[in-house]
Amino acid sequence: MSRPGEQIVTVDDLHVEFETGGRSVEAVSGVSLEIREGETLAVVGESGSGKSVTALAMLGLLGNGRVSAGTITWDGRDITNASNAEMRGIRGNEMSVVFQDPMTALDPLFTIGSQLREALRVHRRIPRKQARARVVELLSQVGIPDPESKVDAYPHQLSGGQRQRVMIAGALACTPRLLIADEPTTALDVTVEAQVLRLMRDLQTETGVALMLITHDMGVVAEMADRVAVFYAGEVVETGTAEQILTDPRHPYTQALLQAIPRPDTPRDKPMPAIPGVVPTLDEMPSGCRFSTRCPLADGDRCELPQTLHDVGGRQARCWRAETPAETRRIAEVAP
């Protein structure tokens, strides 16, 4: 784990809306985060919980979405409504991203070298020969074998793990201060996943880059994170240090996620624990606690009221039961 430095990005009470069917729906509701130099913040939750939308808002890549309220501050500057030109100066240069599927992120018609050189050309404007040397250096840095020849390879000529390493190399080309990794190991097998996670951890130690790691895998959280923000249905439901979240979760959803982690001592004939139901759709959010429709501990009266994120036990949680750890631990007893 790293030793965090100065705060470089702050997301405060962020709300993001998208137009669909002639009306607006809110995909992110009141999210607040902060990331410090050199630390790893794991953002965890199921698909549709608002993790990636929050990251896209930070990058200025919302497309047909918009920030309807709240602020995003980068290195002391308010970039909530920054122009495209201003965001191009930040994105890829100071703040970079590694997307989930490198096969769709990499252009199949261009060589690896030409795509990495483009990032250097746009942000650093260095000569072509010097750019090639830098690309070879980057490929070597991320563990690509025979980087001199791989510069001229096309994406389909590389393995899945090598393509993900190329994506990481591209993200680090301009020595950013923050790397956003959106499910970077989802498409990889277990062995390659471990290699990529080790690579990111080593590069973070070497360069001091901060890492925002978006994942649904609590095992990855345990391996990589300094701090954790747990998302559910567009809200942060719990945030704290990795140790707090993994050993003493206070929100029933966090507890349910941890219950669903495969364990080597589980009998083969015992079914894997699963959280019943699905995340509510954007246009059908419960009026009170958004997890209440799936929570085994839901209390009709209390859970009909909106829950606030409040300080408890050295972290923040969005549940009235969070004050009493034994209450949230009961989920292990009542879960199917």
Q: Packing angle between helix 160-172 and helix 128-141, nearest 10 degrees?
A: 120
Note the pLDDT of residue 297. Answer: 83
Q: Packing angle between helix 160-172 and helix 190-207, nearest 10 degrees?
A: 20
**283 pLDDT above the threshold of 60:** yes
**271 pLDDT above the threshold of 70:** yes
Yes or no: say if 135 and 116 are a contact pair by the CB < 8 Å rule: yes
Distance, CA of 25 to chain centre? 22
The rounded distance, in Å, linking the Cα atoms of 301 and 279 is 21
**310 pLDDT above the threshold of 50:** yes
User: pTM for this structure?
Assistant: 0.89
Burial zone of 155 (CB within 10 Å; 0-12 exposed, 13-18 middle, 19+ buried): buried
The rounded distance, in Å, linking the Cα atoms of 115 and 106 is 8
Look at 265 and 73; give whichever has higher pLDDT.
Answer: 73
Note the pLDDT of residue 336. Answer: 44
**3 pLDDT above the threshold of 70:** no
105-108 long-range Cβ contacts below 8 angstroms, 24+ apart:
105/167, 106/155, 106/163, 106/166, 106/167, 107/155, 108/154, 108/155, 108/156
The rounded distance, in Å, linking the Cα atoms of 309 and 325 is 16
3-state class (DSSP) for residue 140: helix
Structure tokens, 159? 């393995």
The rounded distance, in Å, linking the Cα atoms of 215 and 45 is 7
- State pLDDT tens for residues 96-120: 998 877 777 888 999 999 999 887 8
**323 pLDDT above the threshold of 50:** yes
Nearest to 27 by CA among 39, 38, 15, 44: 15
- State pLDDT tens for residues 43-65: 999 888 999 999 999 999 998 89
CB atoms within 10 A of CB 69: 15
| All residues at 6 or more sequence positions from 206 whose CB lies less than 8 Å from its CB, including other chains | none
Mean pLDDT of the chain: 87
Structure tokens, 194? 């471990």
Going by pLDDT thresholds of 50, 70 and 90, the confidence category of residue 249 is very high
Going by pLDDT thresholds of 50, 70 and 90, the confidence category of residue 15 is very high
H/E stretch holding 139: helix 128-141
β-pairing verdict for 227-232 and 315-317:
unpaired
In which residue are the tokens 């409040």 written?
A: 310
Longest dimension (CA), the chain: 68
Q: What is the CA radius of gyration of the chain?
A: 21
